[in-house]
Structure 1
Amino acid sequence: MTDSTTKWYASWFDTEFYHILYKDRDYREAKLFMGNLIDYLDLDKNAHILDLACGKGRHSIYLNQLGFPVTGVDLSKNSIQAAQKYATETLQFKVYDMTQALPTKFDAVFNLFTSFGYFDKEEDNLNTLKAIKQELKPGAKAVIDFMNVDYVTRNLVPKEIKTVEGIDFHITRWIEDGFIKKNIQFRVNQEKYNFTERVKMLSLKDFQNYFDQVGISLIDCFGNYQLQKFDQQQHQRLILIFN
């Protein structure tokens, strides 16, 4: 029985099963989102982009195909190892803890698809924002694409079974101690696996409080990948543009 409770994101994201479970994410929509972001930010074709929590680098690779030099970082060694085969002179990957600032300055920093709020320690949310602030060139902007917790709470599916590549993932969701939690249990080759995801329930007000503490300015706030102005009742996403 494999059970991860300490820094669950480090072990769960490092498994092949994480990528199997989430293989059907809508990357067409994700590419549309990144195109809209690039237009909104008015990025120069040589703008160096930092992709924080890049996973296996799918979005870093796409951004690089558009012509941008990209650095992708992630805590998962296995994910970065998988991404490295796509590395070029203008596309670099490295294992890195995003709570620490990289020495390089970037023209844009992207933290996409709810890759924030996983931390065991509350101060690491602030540390990540401090790091992003240090990683931005003067006048450059950063993007955090988070969930709209109000929408997610209202539409939470308590239980479901999702079958992917012959694996039955038994998924349970609940809210506890200010976190949205998801328990995932499955069996492969007679071995049982058990992982619990947890993401802090951060509202726009919570982010604004973080930003005030770190000295970050919120520039804009959108509610979907078409970059419509955020509506707390209607939208599924909370997309923050700041510097």
Structure 2
Amino acid sequence: MSEAEKLSTENKIKPPEKWYSSWFDTPYYHILYKERNYREAQIFMDNLTHYLNLPEKAKVLDLACGKGRHSIYLNQLGFDVLGADLSENSIEEASKNSNETLHFKVHDMREPFEEKYDAIFNLFTSFGYFENDEDNLTTLKAIKESLTEYGFAAIDFMNVHQVLNTLIPEEIKTVDGIDFHIKRYEKNGHIYKEIDFVDEGQSFHFIEKVKALTLKDFEELMEEAGIYLLDIFGDYKLKKFHKTESERLIMIFK
């Protein structure tokens, strides 16, 4: 075996760790974001499922579910829910809430599911993490393949224009006695968040990196994936999307 082949084999055995597979698996990620508005998330799920008019006991996939806050509430609304996420720690935690109609599994969103779903939700800017832009298209195709014939999908993404206009370059956020030093900036078509902190004498540094995808970018990706964009909303109350003002970019498609 040549040196190049050896190197290739080693790379396959030990793939480089991506930021999203390390940061999301730490307890600090959940500490930093513990103050997320659960009531707002519930109102969004109420509005979204009502708008889609999902049938009773519909099969719903919460894609990139984290610790399952949306999955749990969707199940409480009467749906048969699977929460899927790449983070093993998050799925382990979420699985404590499992029941006959609520399940969780570790899954890479670039891979389609064997089972088909009446609705697939990708929520809270859980898209655009990948180093390779082609993976964003692959993910959309996987979502399409995992829907039933009459199924709908929704992506809840940041509104890039509004985020860049209101970006706070630096701040310190103190949670549970930990001072998180946060820097935000745009670079090479991505929005970065650098997070530095010290806990029990040890220094930590993490980076969040999300592709700055606009509505136009999504429209082009969806057209290539053979997806039909049905509706666009600008917030969790499903108000009309405004390019410069809306807090969110929520897209309904099939």
| Fold-level similarity (TM above 0.5) | yes
Aligned pair 1:144/2:169, yes or no? no
Name the SS for the 1:240 alignment partner: strand
Name the SS for the 1:205 alignment partner: helix
The letter for the 1-side match of 2:28 is F
Structure 2 distance, partners of 1:7, 1:121, is 11
Moved over 2 A (4+): none
Please report the TM-score for the alignment, with normalisation by the length of structure 1: 0.97
Structure 2 distance, partners of 1:119, 1:205, is 19
Structure 1 distance, partners of 2:245, 2:198, is 37
Indicate the residue corresponding to 1:62 in structure 2: 73
In angstroms, what is the RMSD of aligned CA positions? 0.8
1:19-72 C-alpha deviation (Å, 9 max, x unpaired): 000000111111000100010000112101000000011110111111111000
Name the SS for the 1:18 alignment partner: helix
Match of 1:72 among 77, 83, 102: 83
Aligned pair 1:101/2:88, yes or no? no
Indicate the residue corresponding to 1:178 in structure 2: 189
- RCO higher in structure (CA 8 A, sep ≥6): 1
Name the SS for the 2:97 alignment partner: coil
Match of 1:125 among 118, 133, 136: 136
Q: Gaps (5+ residues) in structure 1?
A: none
Indicate the residue corresponding to 1:235 in structure 2: 246
Structure 1 distance, partners of 2:228, 2:149, is 13
The 5 A counterparts of 1:218-229 are: 218-229=229-240
1:122-154 C-alpha deviation (Å, 9 max, x unpaired): 111011100000010012110000000000000
The 5 A counterparts of 1:12-51 are: 12-51=23-62
Structure 2 distance, partners of 1:57, 1:30, is 11
Match of 1:198 among 199, 205, 209: 209
Structure 2 distance, partners of 1:33, 1:13, is 23
Structure 2 distance, partners of 1:138, 1:75, is 26
User: How far 1:217 sits from its partner (Å)?
Assistant: 0.5
Indicate the residue corresponding to 1:111 in structure 2: 122
Indicate the residue corresponding to 1:153 in structure 2: 164
Name the SS for the 1:142 alignment partner: strand
The letter for the 1-side match of 2:162 is Y
Name the SS for the 1:150 alignment partner: helix
Identity of aligned residues (%): 58
Structure 2 distance, partners of 1:201, 1:57, is 25
Larger radius of gyration: 2
User: How far 1:85 sits from its partner (Å)?
Assistant: 1.0
The letter for the 1-side match of 2:77 is L
Structure 1 distance, partners of 2:54, 2:63, is 18
User: How far 1:163 sits from its partner (Å)?
Assistant: 0.2
